[in-house]
A and B are shown apart, each in its own frame.
Chain A
Amino acid sequence: MNNRDLQRKLDRISASRLSRIGEGIPKHVALSDLNSITLRNKFKRMGLKGNHIDSALTMVDEIGFQKILANQPLGSRFASIPQSKKKPQVWKA
């Protein structure tokens, strides 16, 4: 097994464990950066709510996710795209 395979294996183990800590930690804490947390805290203090606030948070989260994914191999980035599960390919006589 080469280093890349080993790294992916460790990633999978880490990811599976992460979701099992208590009830898991939010996606933006696990995968985004500091701005996602501080901005949430700021909006909370100011008592701001609504669609425009959610959009702002989504944008900051997505920028954070992209920063993380930028360092990942193309395969990991591709695998993070939502996709439907392939049906098993069965030979029909």
Chain B
Amino acid sequence: MKKTQFPPSITNLLLQEGQRWMVKGKPRTALGTGIIPIIASARGGKTSLAYSMIDFVVEHTSRPVILDSFPQRVIDEGIPEHWKGRVTNQSFNDIAKIDEPAVWLLDDSATHFNSRSAMSSTNQTLAKSAGVLSHFGGGMTVLFTTQSMSGIDLSLLRYTTISPVIRWVDYDLIPQERKEWRSEIEYAQYQLKRVCKDERLRDFFWSSKDKLLVPSNFPKFLSSNYDPIKADLLSRPMRYHTVEQKEVLLGIVKPPARKRQKKVKIDE
């Protein structure tokens, strides 16, 4: 994968702070911190694009990659060989414990960081950390995938540098989008329809900040012809949570309370 695989605004956030790369013959220095929201309807290629970005990070940087709340089975059996040792599975609540310039993937953010769960602990962590992402670990980048911006807590989009990516969105869902995003998503669909041959417009994506169409790079390891089990583990990771974990994610069951550590009284 070339260092110029992605347009400047995305590369700017994927490379580590201070790393250099060339844009149209001129050197640029990466910011290395911010948020990349990826918007598409179900089976629109959000997760595969996020993996492609992670593949870029693994190849061109030394940044650690953290897959938020991914099932352990996906980490153990699903990720490609060259990712091993670079990719871990942690909750976004542990962000304060990470002292490296990590790249986080929050997959299916509408479930984890739903605006209806604004007061959940993870959502609060995200809201508070969005403004100081550049401080933690020397600058962190968050990739998140969602089917609609209207399901995302607004605080995620109010701070830091963002570089939104728009893919195919079902025509009937666009009227339900946030008014701030609706016209951009409509415009992206118009642009995608001009060049895409795939029925779900997956051969390109729209980089909102660069105002550019970008050809999709579908990672080989996601192809079902390559390894159908690994491909499915990565393509729909949430499927591989246990029933209990799925119920907690969907808010059907409350997460188990943390065991309080017993205070030990020191005998004098």
Residues of A within 8 A of B (CB): 1, 88-91, 93
Decide if B7 is an interface residue (CB 8 Å cutoff).
yes
Chain B CB within 10 Å, residue with most, of A1, A88, A91, A93: A91
| Contact call A88/B214, Cβ cutoff below 8 A | no
Q: How far is the CB of B266 from chain A (nearest CB, A)?
A: 63
- 5 residue pairs of the A-B complex, CB under 8 angstroms, read A88-B191, A90-B212, A90-B214, A91-B6, A91-B213
**Are A91 and B212 neighbours in the complex by a CB distance under 8 Å?**
yes
Report yes or no: B215 in contact with A91, Cβ–Cβ below 8 A: yes
Q: Check B4 against A89 for contact (C-beta < 8 Å).
A: no
* Chain B interface, DSSP helix/strand/loop, else mixed: mixed
A-B contacts, CB under 8 A, total? 27
Interchain CB contact under 8 A, B7 and A91: yes
On chain A, the residues within 8 Å of B213 by CB distance are: 88-91
Closest beta carbon of chain A to B60's beta carbon, Å: 13
Other-chain contact of A89, B2, B6, B179, B212 (Cβ < 8 Å): B212
Complex Cα gap A53–B204 (Å): 53
In the bound complex, what is the Cα–Cα distance between A88 and B194 (angstroms)?
A: 7
- What residues on B are CB-neighbors of A88 within 8 Å? 191, 194-195, 213
Q: Provide the residues of chain A in CB contact with B191, threshold 8 Å.
A: 88
How far does the alpha carbon of A90 sit from the alpha carbon of B179 in the complex, in Å?
Answer: 27
* Chain B contacts for A1, CB-based, 8 A: 179
Residue of B whose beta carbon sits closest to that of A86: B194
- Is residue B235 within 8 Å, beta carbon to beta carbon, of the partner chain? no
B204–A90 touching, CB < 8 Å: yes
Give per-residue flags for B4-19: 1 if the beta carbon is below 8 A from chain A beta carbons, else 0. Answer: 1111000000000000
Contact string against A for B residues 189-229, beta-carbon threshold 8 Å, 1 for contact and 0 otherwise: 00100110000000010010011111100000000000000
| Nearest-Cβ distance from residue B106 to partner chain A, whole angstroms | 25
| Contact residues in A for B6 (Cβ distance below 8 Å) | 91, 93
Contacts of B4 in A (CB 8 A): 93
Q: Which residue of B lies closest to A85 (CB)?
A: B194
Contacts of B207 in A (CB 8 A): 91
Roughly how many angstroms separate A50 CA and B145 CA in the complex, as a whole number? 65
A90 to B210, CA, bound (A): 10
Contacts of B179 in A (CB 8 A): 1
Q: Which residue of A lies closest to B8 (CB)?
A: A91
Nearest CB on B from A57, distance (A): 37
Chain A residue with minimal CB distance to B205?
A91
CA distance A90 to B7 in the complex (A): 10
